[in-house]
Amino acid sequence: MKAQQLCFLEPHQVEIREQQLPSLQPDQVLVKNLYSAISAGTEMLVYRGQLPTAMSLGESLTASEVQTINYPTQYGYACVGRIEEVGQDVGVDWVGKTVFSFQPHASHHVCAINDVILLPEGVDPKDAVFLANMETAVNLVQDGNPRLGERVVVLGQGIVGLLVSSVLAEFPLADLYAVESIEGRRKLAGQAGVQATFSPEADKEINVLQEKLKLNEGCGGADVIFELTGSPASLNLAVDLSAYSGRIVVGSWYGTKSAEINLGERFHRNRIAIISSQVSTISPELSGRWDKARRFSVAWGLIKRCQPSQFVSHNLEFAKAAEAYRLLDDSPQDTTQIIFNYQD
């Protein structure tokens, strides 16, 4: 059988190619995708050629398991589809089941039965496509470890920022604020449960945020800040807003992007911790009690309550993939989340 597969040919050039799928092995299944979600932060690094020359593209791999990235390449890791065929060692009752899988964008794919995740009852496929991003949000919040009565700021309200805000809105925090440059996303932040959102380009708004955080008072400032903008320069704002002994959780993947960070003055004197957070592993403090299955279970529960498809700005036919990436590259202010639709 042949599948339509998205291929990154070189920076700023994508194409849908028809490829022959391999024959089913005994433990494998054939999945026809319904939807897949673009991970804008990561995939735009691939699209723009901003990836390091040797690194892992796999969501489940650690930094020590690197590979050389060469074009053309496939990417993507958030697919929801229905199983159409099964190998001889897979029960026939799997046929027709709707599943999530960490696979590149394509109309169909073949993978091991152990590499698919069955959708819980009652979860809409358009919400389920956010499983990877919601798991990331859960991991980020666990690494930030917000406590009762703390002040929290989320920098960036792209899809991961919105999901992190949605998770944090369930916590008994004193304050939950967001910083976002795009007006449309600031409005969505309110839907996610943020108390107030501020533009980083407006000095007056940042001054208001500093006042709300009681930055110049004893015990003032943000206890936890999540940096999710994709811009390393935002770390300077995070440091400026942080409380004494505050935690800055960096969930952005910067690729080859860099920026000057001021680690003098406020950072040096205030014991501020900068925490690297990435979903491929579980924090050492939790790994004895948590595994991926438990984290997925929490993510599914949050998806049911949050219904993240509310944040989808574009539901496009797969044939319009090139248009989708151009839109993300040229007009990010007009997008929040793009999903591909493979249904006939």
What digits encode the pLDDT tens for the residues 307-340? 999 999 999 999 999 999 999 999 999 999 999 9
Determine the pLDDT at residue 180. Answer: 97
Torsion of CA 109, 51, 250, 126, to 10 degrees: -30
Is the pLDDT assigned to residue 62 strictly greater than 80? no
CATH of domain 136-276: 3.40.50.720
For the residues 124-140, what does the mean pLDDT come to? 97
Question: 209 or 217: whose pLDDT is higher?
Answer: 209
Determine the pLDDT at residue 54. Answer: 54
Determine the pLDDT at residue 261. Answer: 87
Domain ranges of the chain: 2-124+307-341, 136-276
CA within 13 Å, CB half, 136 = 26
Predicted structure pTM score = 0.92
Determine the pLDDT at residue 65. Answer: 42
DSSP state of 90: S
Is the pLDDT assigned to residue 202 strictly greater than 80? yes
Question: How sure is the predictor about 241, in pLDDT bands with cuts at 50, 70 and 90?
Answer: very high
In CATH, 2-124+307-341 is 3.90.180.10: yes
Determine the pLDDT at residue 255. Answer: 74
Determine the pLDDT at residue 60. Answer: 47
The residues that bridge with 315 in the sheet, in sequence order, are: 339
Residue 65: both structure tokens together: 């398991």
Is the pLDDT assigned to residue 59 strictly greater than 60? no
Cα separation of 34 and 99, whole Å? 10
Question: How sure is the predictor about 120, in pLDDT bands with cuts at 50, 70 and 90?
Answer: very high
Cα separation of 138 and 27, whole Å? 31
Average pLDDT of the chain?
A: 92
Residues 323, 327, 332, CA angle at the centre, nearest 5°?
165
Is the pLDDT assigned to residue 155 strictly greater than 80? yes
Is the pLDDT assigned to residue 61 strictly greater than 50? no
Residue 63: both structure tokens together: 């930094």
